[in-house]
Amino acid sequence: MTPAQGGARAAAPARGQGHGPVIAVVPLRGGAAGKTRLSAELDPQERSRLVAVLARHVLGALLAGRVSRVLVVTADPGFAAEVVGPDGRVEVVAQPVDRPGLNEAVAVGQERALAAGAARVLVVHADLPLLAADDVRALLAPAAPVVIAPDRLGTGTNALVLAGTVSGFRFRFGPGSREAHEREARRLGVVPGVVLRPGTATDLDTVADWAELPDAVRAGLRTAVGGG
């Protein structure tokens, strides 16, 4: 399934390998601010539509893959509400102005998820064009309290699973985040699990990422965002 085709919807809430409810956290930037490194390929309107198309695809994959609820954390709730649409399983969470940045957005989502009774919190970036329900299930399969899914270069983090029993984990998204998150897990006495799959490793931030996409996916995205 490509982003242009949309995401599947879950038949029923899933509980993730018997470990209790899984709530996903998806940080989402506003459309106007997103994907500026793709300006050589897409104009501002196309980039805004791309953010929306990718986010909808990720949400569909999550809801089809053992996730009962999704929290979309954003500093642009209006844009996020348009992206999400009327789906009761997805909640838009406004990021507090005094807690800016990606890591704080994720922390806000984790706090909300744990307060809602999540046994595990799955953090996923909103720009994974190959993500499928099987990838989500693979992320939730390991028994490790911390599970990391690196990007295609092996240095960043595209997804992260934290058991509700993990306390004091500090999010380190940014350059070198895979190593930083592994250090963070070990600081807490946890040996992290690692999931390596094309669907979790393939993000879309740069022109190089764009070039690495399968031809059919790239063509589908161009059509979906109006790029011809």
Q: Which two tokens stand for residue 199?
A: 């669907």
Q: What is the 3-state secondary structure (H, E, C) of 1-38?
A: CCHHHCCCCCCCCCCCCCCCCEEEEEECCCHHHCCHHH
Strand partners, 25: 71, 123
CB 26 within 8 Å of CB 124? yes
Instruction: Report the half-sphere exposure of 106 (CA within 13 A, side-chain side).
Output: 20
**Is 220 a known ligand-binding residue?**
no
List of E strands, the chain = 22-27, 69-74, 90-94, 120-124, 146-150, 157-163, 193-194
48 is in an annotated binding site: no
Q: Per the annotation, does 177 bind a ligand?
A: yes
Paired sense of beta strands 146-150 and 193-194, if any: parallel
Which residues define the annotated binding site? 157, 174, 177
Which residues define the annotated binding site for phosphoenolpyruvate? 157, 174, 177
